[in-house]
Structure 1
């Protein structure tokens, strides 16, 4: 996965699971991925080492991936969106049944 794709995927995961992270994890993630601060800038803000920030961001990445592996909220949302698009374009009612199955 390329960097841009990886970042987009992580941001999607973060939008679903951010509330399950600690305040510190949220702050590091937001500063790095949303505010575009460097590891050193974040380290200076929190008075920790650059390596500590790097380690924390890697942990957050792993945590987000673990949440998705177990809960599959992003996967289900993407399936639902795809089915809704197909339903809108084809007006085929079989997609309604498939949407209902996702909710079971």
Structure 2
């Protein structure tokens, strides 16, 4: 995999994650174009043909939508908070794995599982 492919994959992953958090803040057209472009891997030309508009118009919609997502993240930091929480949960998992007390280990694993699943803690 080349550096370009790695960068493109990282960008696609980031946009998809931001989209998950901020989708409702985009216009319907921006949502649609981002879904086609980043989720479904359509080319700009394919999207343009589907909606009978120019490739440049699709490009502009996608770029504006990306900018909205990045602006939302810079202000609200939901993705950053999510990633930080996931890192702490991984540390909790690792610490629980090192415990000898199986009952306590199971309880901590249940807490981590609950936090990953809408905050519902299963004991």
Across the two proteins, how many residue pairs are aligned to each other?
A: 91
51-60 vs 78-87, greater mean Cα deviation: 78-87
TM-superposed CA distance for 1:79, in Å, is 0.7
Q: Which has the higher contact order (CA 8 A, sep 6+)?
A: 1
**Selected match of 1:70 from 52, 66, 75:** 75
Q: Is the 8 A contact 2:15 2:38 kept in 1?
A: no
Q: Is the 8 A contact 2:18 2:79 kept in 1?
A: yes
Q: CA RMSD in A?
A: 1.4
TM-superposed CA distance for 1:34, in Å, is 1.5
TM-score (norm 2): 0.69
Structure 1: segments with no counterpart, 5+ residues:
92-104
Structure 2: segments with no counterpart, 5+ residues:
1-5, 97-123
TM-superposed CA distance for 1:88, in Å, is 2.4
